[in-house]
């Protein structure tokens, strides 16, 4: 869920990053409304995040930090169930 928020600010206190994108300089003493909105990730950003996660998994596997599926499920079974699940 994207979030947004607006705030009123005096023109004299406008951060330089905002002032630099305005076509005209705000009139001294005036008030402005600044809205900040969370942006959704682009497909390229999502893909980069996914690739980084895959690489992290590969690195952990290469470092010997992986366990085989049977061991993992046995550990989960022991943790989640008081009695072993019959197969």
Determine the average pLDDT of the residues in 60-67. 93
* Side-chain half-sphere exposure of 38, counting CA atoms within 13 A: 6
Determine the average pLDDT of the residues in 79-85. 73
The pLDDT value given to residue 30: 92
45: its two tokens: 């950003």
pTM greater than the 0.95 cutoff: no
């Amino acid at each position: 869920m994207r979030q947004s928020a607006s705030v009123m600010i005096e023109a004299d206190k406008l951060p330089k990053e905002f002032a630099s994108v305005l076509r005209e300089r705000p009139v001294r003493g005036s008030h402005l409304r600044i809205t900040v909105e969370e942006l959704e990730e682009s497909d390229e950003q999502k893909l980069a995040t996914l690739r980084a996660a895959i690489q992290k998994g590969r690195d952990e596997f290469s470092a010997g930090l992986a366990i085989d599926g049977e061991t993992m499920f046995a550990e989960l079974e022991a943790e989640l169930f008081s009695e072993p699940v019959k197969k």
